[in-house]
Amino acid sequence: MAPKSRVENRAEQTRAIQETARRHLAEVGPAALSLRAIAREVGLVSSAVYRYFPSRDDLLTELIVEAYDELGDAVERAQDAAGDDLGARFRALCRAIHDWARANPHEYALVYGSPVPGYAAPDTTVTPAGRVTGAFLALALASERAGHTLAATAPLSPAESAALAPVFDAVGAPIGEERLVRWLMAWKTVFGHVSLELFGHMHRGVLDYDAHFEQVTAQLAADLGL
Amino acid sequence: MAPKSRVENRAEQTRAIQETARRHLAEVGPAALSLRAIAREVGLVSSAVYRYFPSRDDLLTELIVEAYDELGDAVERAQDAAGDDLGARFRALCRAIHDWARANPHEYALVYGSPVPGYAAPDTTVTPAGRVTGAFLALALASERAGHTLAATAPLSPAESAALAPVFDAVGAPIGEERLVRWLMAWKTVFGHVSLELFGHMHRGVLDYDAHFEQVTAQLAADLGL
DNA sequence: CGAAAACAAGAGCAGTGCTCTCGAAATGTG
DNA sequence: CACATTTCGAGAGCACTGCTCTTGTTTTCG
């Protein structure tokens, strides 16, 4: 065995810890994630882990960033595969979120569920967190430019349009207020569906989640004029 | 001090524990809720609490039921105060959910956030859990009977309408498929909004949550033909 | 080569949920 | 009333958690 240099050993251990943490997360969920159990599996004593992650929360932060990035990748991949039609892209976007969440329920809960106690998301998470929202907004802008006709949408009061100023900035180009509101609503509906489904609130009401989700996204697409 | 009988002492202690737990829940959230801390404040040693609640999860269950009931009360009260107009009732319903969630974020997270690890909701929770959903469905039925005209809604495939069989049963009377789907979407949008707002996903995008929520509910009402 | 930095290990602290045992108190019964 | 039963609170203890501090070793750098 070649003696490992300090830097590569450090990188390797850091990766081993994070990978094990990732596996544990998928198995037991964020709240039950134990630093000591991770250390045991990596072959380290618990205190040694603190050489690599200053606290359990920092390890969680890495996992949060990882989850956001995975979801972001899945979403972008699905959109690329969907071609140019905006309706197809929108459906692909929604389905990618739904599929990823069902395949990674604990990771979804980590980022879109209740925040872990005492944990405040550092700035590292905001960029990857914005990717999915950004995908919605990018589609919204593309739809604006394609001249799609919205379903009838109420005009905004001055207070309401003022409230959305940062979102307008995020879009980065002129977009109709009503259109933006519709897209935000679609965003909420999709994540509302996924959260309600994953957290067990549709368990007694809906037999086939996929069929129902398909219907919902189709309706959203129609309302968005796609 | 009058000597307390066994039964009334038991009732009193049970209530004291639950009340303290409720306060702690509101302060520190579900995950950080400590049975020992509750015991300390009630003036008991930790093991004594187990005379009243067989486990921490059973105490959580009580709090879940309590939260569902509080939200159910708030929703029904708001609806009663809103009069007969279905549009007003719908807005009152949405606002009641939003207001209650903001006033009781930890309680909201407890019931609509990520499930606590290893916790499986017992049957005790299903009845109170259904009250809010029931309010949506009752309004949906009333709207059907009032003959309100929906915004254009896509017809359901056989698979999609089959998937919703239990919801049709829950409504308890004939209702149009497309209408039911629209109401379910409204349900998702409202809870999606509240969850995304409370869990910090609108923090960098929306300045005035109330104004934005108002716009969203108005649009939902319009789509529902209210 | 020697100083400095990095590291793994171990002990330890304060906290958790939960179990078990033990003495005291309230309760129901002969 | 007296005795047996049940209920209850307290305490010790187990296995676990995140985290800190010290100690001895190993790698790196000047």
Average of pLDDT values for A105-128? 85
Average of pLDDT values for A116-120? 66
CB contact under 8 A, A170 and B205: yes
Average of pLDDT values for B213-219? 98
CA distances to A67, A134, B164, B190 from A110, rounded to whole Å, are: 8, 20, 29, 21
The pLDDT value recorded for residue B200 is: 93
Average of pLDDT values for A11-28? 97
Category of B43 on φ-ψ map: left (φ > 0), alpha (ψ -120 to 50) or beta: left
* Tokens encoding B59: 């105490």
State which H helix or E strand residue A16 sits in. helix A6-28
Question: Using CA atoms, how far apart are residues A114 and A96, in angstroms rounded to an integer?
Answer: 22
Nearest alpha carbon to residue B185 among A189, A226, A181, A186? A189
Average of pLDDT values for B122-128? 87
| Residues A205 and B163: beta-carbon distance below 8 Å | no
Category of A147 on φ-ψ map: left (φ > 0), alpha (ψ -120 to 50) or beta: left
The letter for the amino acid at B26 is: A
Q: Which residue from A minimizes the CA distance to B114?
A: A113
* Tokens encoding A132: 């999915």
Cβ of A125 under 8 Å from any chain B Cβ? Answer: no
Q: Is the CB of A93 under 7 A from strand D?
A: no
Cβ of B155 under 8 Å from any chain A Cβ? Answer: no
Average of pLDDT values for B93-112? 98
Percent of chain A with pLDDT over 70: 96
CA distances to A55, A94, A117, A122, B142 from B194, rounded to whole Å, are: 30, 19, 19, 22, 25
The spacing between the Cα labelled CA in A48 and the C1' in D23, in angstroms, equals 14
- Which range, of A106-120, A130-144, A175-189, B157-171, averages the lowest pLDDT? A106-120
**Phi, psi (5° rounding) for residue B165?**
-50, -45
Tell me: pLDDT of A74 over 50: yes
Q: Is the CB of A204 under 7 A from strand D?
A: no
- A195-214 residues touching B, CB cutoff 8 A: 195-196, 199-201, 204-209, 211-212, 214
Tell me: pLDDT of A4 over 80: no
Cβ neighbours around A149 below 10 Å, total: 9
Burial B164-177 (b: 16+ CB within 10 A, else e): beebbebbeeebee
Average of pLDDT values for A106-124? 84
Percent of chain A with pLDDT over 90: 91
Tell me: pLDDT of B118 over 70: no
Question: Using CA atoms, how far apart are residues A42 and A49, in angstroms rounded to an integer?
Answer: 9
Give me chain B's average pLDDT, please.
Answer: 95
Tell me: pLDDT of A198 over 80: yes
Average of pLDDT values for A170-182? 97
The pLDDT value recorded for residue B119 is: 66
CB contact under 8 A, A223 and B223: yes
Q: Which residue from B minimizes the CA distance to A211?
A: B160
Nearest alpha carbon to residue B95 among B199, B198, B216, B1? B216
Supply the angle between the helices A105-112 and A56-81 in degrees, to the nearest 10.
110
pLDDT class of A6 with cuts at 50, 70, 90: confident
Question: Using CA atoms, how far apart are residues B198 and A155, in angstroms rounded to an integer?
Answer: 26
The pLDDT value recorded for residue B115 is: 82
CB contact under 8 A, B189 and A184: no
Tell me: pLDDT of A43 over 90: yes
The pLDDT value recorded for residue B121 is: 72
Q: Is the CB of B116 under 7 A from strand C?
A: no
pLDDT class of B123 with cuts at 50, 70, 90: confident
